[in-house]
Amino acid sequence: MGNFLPNDLIRRLNERADFDSEAFLETHQTGDKITSIRLNPHKQQQSPFVRIKQVPWCTFGYYLEERPSFTLDPLYHAGCYYVQEASSMFIAHILEQLGLANSKIKALDLCAAPGGKSTLLNSYLGVESLLVSNEVIKARANILVDNINRWGTANVVVTNNDPSAFNRLPGYFDVLLVDAPCSGSGMFRKDQKAIDEWSSANVKLCSDRQKRILAESLSTLSTDGYLLYSTCSYSQEENEDIVDWVMDEFGFESVSIPVKADWGIEETHSPKHYAFGYRFYPHRVMGEGFFISVLKKRTSQSSFPKNKMRPEKSAISLYEAAKWVHPADIFFQFMHGDDLRIFPKAYMDDLRALQQVLYIKQAGTSLGKWTGRELLPSHDLACSIYIRTDLPSQELDLQTALKYLRKENLDRDHFTQTNTGWCLVRYEGVNLGWVKVLPNRVNNYYPKEVRIMNL
């Protein structure tokens, strides 16, 4: 069998015990691609597509029989599910095994864009936790914001900072997820470009970058806090060797995560400290290449001095929020320019503290623009899981929903039973966004920056 993958990589993989290079190469040559989605538990309980089976390590994950056109599914745009590679959903199993599901903790997703792992963290940690999702690249941070908004929760802060900025928050987070930039060999089956760009030199470059990211951010993790370190690389230099380095330099211990034998996941051990790692190979699992290790911080870490601060008083009564969301009393509201936003009261002081040391792109949920007399409701509000269910709404069929998502004009005849004013448009009972019904027309308020451009 010919080898079209990098020889240096195959040589190193063959040094691993029981590695089946023939099956590995055959899987890449067949070109079979697996599509999986993860449901938003607050919006969708069943897969909207024909599914093969559930992803075994993720309650909300499903394999699809074929890859549909997600662009043509309004439920995708409404945040009912996220198209995510199945191997990386293993993080859900880790959170459950660590007893962190539906907890009240503070978590940081350090390299978060485009948002798959952040939305997973958000679903499993629950709405009573605080999640900070960070992305250093500005353009990717904007994509992250869009995906967080679609997911619909209000307990997320999106930041746009270099990892070194989090050293200003020592001992602050209970969980730190670092899905580190890597050489990308785990994506070979999906992306020919990843094969073309791979080199041993790039593995070394990525390994050095991974060490820098970790060295500049690990102090933000509290004593006994958990580091989840992952890559989409097969190279030991980016995986097990990094784990050994973290244990040598920063006082962490390895954590074992139980896995079932029939899942096909390979449990590995680092060469120096015999630390546990979990490798996903596409010839053994229904998924792409992935590595993850869990480490627990054992060294004592001083804490960030979170001073109590007086909350900023909003000039707008909380009654305004209560007109749009329920329950309103679990949130505090604040103005950001003319944007009225809500954020969990339980983390009010935390938000003020984060504002002191980080560049924050977004916190909580925007209710809309305050004109001085009334609120112009936002698209974020339409996507929110807290939006009131008794607001005016109109159900649309598929073709009309797609017209709405293209930001085209809608026929006034679709809204004959609707009073004039703001109205939610829905598809299969899920909110897509806002229109304003006028006596002779309907104004489409779907955001132009996320509209469907081509069908």
Q: How far apart are CA 71 and CA 75, in angstroms?
A: 9
- pLDDT band (50, 70, 90) for residue 422: very high
Residues 6+ apart with CB under 8 A from 416: none
What is the pTM assigned to this prediction? Answer: 0.95
Residue 2 has a pLDDT of 46
Determine if residue 135 is labeled as part of a ligand binding site. Answer: yes
Residue 107 has a pLDDT of 98
Tokens of 90: 């293993």
Out of 58, 182, 206, 232, pick the active-site residue: 232
Most confident of 303-312, 435-444, 446-455: 435-444
For residue 189, the Cα-to-chain-centroid distance in whole angstroms is 23
Residue by residue, DSSP assigns 249-290 as: HH-EEEE-----GGG-PEEEE-TTT--EEEEE-TTTSSS--E
Catalytic (active site) residue 232: yes
Determine if residue 117 is labeled as part of a ligand binding site. Answer: yes
How large is the average pLDDT for residues 284-291?
A: 96
Contacts 24+ apart (CB under 8 A), 425-429: 425/393, 425/394, 425/396, 425/401, 426/393, 426/394, 426/395, 426/396, 427/74, 427/75, 427/78, 427/395, 427/396, 427/398, 427/401, 428/48, 428/74, 428/75, 429/395
Tokens of 244: 């050994």
| Domain 88-297 CATH class label | alpha beta
Sign of CA dihedral 348, 353, 356, 361: negative
Say which CATH topology domain 391-455 has: Nuclear Transport Factor 2; Chain: A, (3.10.450)
Determine if residue 114 is labeled as part of a ligand binding site. Answer: yes
Residue 7 has a pLDDT of 93
Residue 10 has a pLDDT of 94
Q: How far apart are CA 377 and CA 445, in angstroms?
A: 10
Determine if residue 111 is labeled as part of a ligand binding site. Answer: yes
User: Residues of the chain with pLDDT > 90: what percent?
Assistant: 86
Q: Cβ of 228: how many Cβ atoms within 10 Å?
A: 23
**More confident: 110 or 316:** 110
| Nearest residue to 367 via CA among 298, 415, 316, 402 | 316
Residue 442 falls in which region: left (phi positive, over 0), alpha (psi -120 to 50) or beta = beta
User: Which residue spans of the chain are classified as CATH 3.10.450.720?
Assistant: 391-455
Residue 93 has a pLDDT of 98
Determine if residue 112 is labeled as part of a ligand binding site. Answer: yes
Q: Is the pLDDT of residue 184 over 50?
A: yes
Residue 1 has a pLDDT of 39
Residue 290 falls in which region: left (phi positive, over 0), alpha (psi -120 to 50) or beta = beta
Mean of the per-residue pLDDT values of the chain: 94
Tokens of 106: 């503070």
DSSP summary character for residue 293 = E
Q: Is the pLDDT of residue 381 over 60?
A: yes
Q: Is the pLDDT of residue 46 over 90?
A: no
Q: Is the pLDDT of residue 357 over 80?
A: yes
How large is the average pLDDT for residues 7-23?
A: 92
Determine if residue 383 is labeled as part of a ligand binding site. Answer: no
**More confident: 448 or 373:** 448
Least confident window among 188-192, 253-257, 262-266, 422-426: 188-192
Determine if residue 267 is labeled as part of a ligand binding site. Answer: no
User: Which residue spans of the chain are classified as CATH 3.40.50.150?
Assistant: 88-297
User: Residues of the chain with pLDDT > 70: what percent?
Assistant: 96
- pLDDT band (50, 70, 90) for residue 92: very high
